[in-house]
């Protein structure tokens, strides 16, 4: 049996989300095929969790320090274990920005995500969107405000360029924390200050009115799968922040209520973006469909959430697939 390590935790505000994704992935994996351990990376510590089966158990379970020379650790029996494969589900630093991928490349460890270059680029939404604009994709106008230089541009200059309403968000990482929908000029500077608490660069992005959707995709040497599209319908929140994602302030409809033509176009575009970037493993791409069924790229998620209720498991079920088989396909593609 192969030994699979689920890499979770991280050093951003999405640490706890990552731990829940790890518990989800652990429940999805084929236990007859794999021995599974979770490894938490957080605050300078790399530790294998021994016996933990869910996010709530993680704090109290026995732990074993990971040897960073070869990513090995001792199990409950004192046996030295070196994983055969690592499934990365850190939503943020260091698993979503290329740092961990570079380390695994150096020690020859197979892993689930895209390469160092792809991860580093897609982690920065401003860089990604401008790169994809150069590839012919439709994206919202945006600018970046850098930490230490945030007072060099006036609020009015930003508003004149981007307009109101607009979104202010950390340029790197997800949109769960530090994101604000700014409607008036007096809200802009507090929103920038909030986003700077999450990262060094802040992205100010033009508002696009339309339907928010998201589409998952993965490809292996044997299969290419573009999953059914999910539609995001806000109930009490104005955008898809942490509360909407994890506290039920949103309605998620899979498959999305789109025409056959728009569905086909979105799925083809998702597959094309996957290939343009040279992605690996499961990704999820968010879009806004604006007036005239115009498809606008919003964000590319290379380590999407993997709890039982996350979009990817929803889309896998809607496609009539077994998530256990999907995970096996992705892992075995490295061997």
Report, as an integer, the average pLDDT of 324-332: 98
Contact 283, 302 (CB under 8 A): yes
Tell me: the pLDDT tens digits for 56-107? Answer: 667 778 999 999 999 999 999 999 999 999 999 999 899 999 999 999 999 9
Query: Is the pLDDT confidence value at 31 over 60?
Result: yes
Q: What percent of the chain has pLDDT over 90?
A: 84
Query: Residue 163, SS3?
Result: coil
Query: Is the pLDDT confidence value at 304 over 80?
Result: yes
Confidence of residue 51 (pLDDT cuts 50, 70, 90): confident
pLDDT at position 28 is 97
Confidence of residue 234 (pLDDT cuts 50, 70, 90): confident
Q: If we measure between CA atoms, which residue out of 109, 230, 224, 128 comes closest to residue 171?
A: 128
Most confident of 8-22, 139-153, 208-222: 208-222
Q: What is the pTM of this model?
A: 0.92
Query: Residue 262, SS3?
Result: helix
Tell me the chain's radius of gyration from C-alpha atoms: 20
Query: Is the pLDDT confidence value at 135 over 80?
Result: yes
Contact 21, 91 (CB under 8 A): yes
């Amino acid at each position: 049996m192969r030994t699979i390590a689920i890499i979770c935790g991280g050093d951003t505000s999405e640490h706890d989300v990552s731990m829940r994704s790890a518990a989800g992935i652990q429940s999805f994996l084929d236990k007859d095929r794999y021995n599974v351990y979770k490894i938490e990376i957080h605050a300078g510590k790399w530790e294998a969790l021994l016996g933990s089966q869910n996010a709530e158990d993680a704090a109290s379970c026995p732990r074993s320090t990971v040897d960073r020379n070869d990513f090995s650790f001792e199990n409950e029996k004192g046996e030295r274990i070196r994983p055969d494969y690592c499934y990365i589900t850190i939503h943020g630093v260091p698993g979503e920005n290329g740092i961990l991928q570079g380390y695994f490349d150096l020690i020859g460890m197979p892993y689930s995500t895209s390469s160092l270059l792809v991860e580093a680029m897609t982690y920065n939404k401003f860089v990604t969107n401008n790169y994809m604009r150069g590839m012919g994709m439709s994206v919202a106008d945006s600018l970046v405000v850098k930490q230490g230089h945030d007072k060099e541009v006036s609020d009015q200059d930003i508003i004149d360029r981007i307009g109101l309403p607009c979104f202010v968000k950390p340029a790197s990482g997800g949109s769960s924390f530090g994101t604000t929908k700014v409607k008036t000029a007096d809200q802009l500077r507090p929103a920038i200050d909030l986003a700077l608490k999450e990262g060094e660069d802040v992205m100010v992005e033009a508002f696009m009115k339309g339907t928010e959707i998201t589409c998952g995709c993965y490809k292996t040497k044997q299969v290419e799968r573009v999953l059914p599209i999910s539609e995001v319908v806000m109930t009490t929140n104005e955008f898809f922040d942490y509360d909407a994602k994890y506290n039920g302030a949103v309605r998620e409809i899979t498959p999305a209520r789109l025409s056959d033509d728009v569905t086909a176009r979105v799925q083809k575009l998702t597959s094309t973006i996957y290939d343009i970037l040279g992605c690996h493993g499961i990704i999820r791409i968010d879009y806004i469909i604006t007036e005239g069924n115009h498809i606008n790229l919003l964000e590319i998620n290379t380590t999407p959430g993997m709890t039982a209720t996350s979009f990817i498991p929803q889309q896998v079920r809607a496609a009539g697939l077994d998530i256990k088989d999907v995970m096996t396909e992705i892992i075995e593609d490295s061997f």
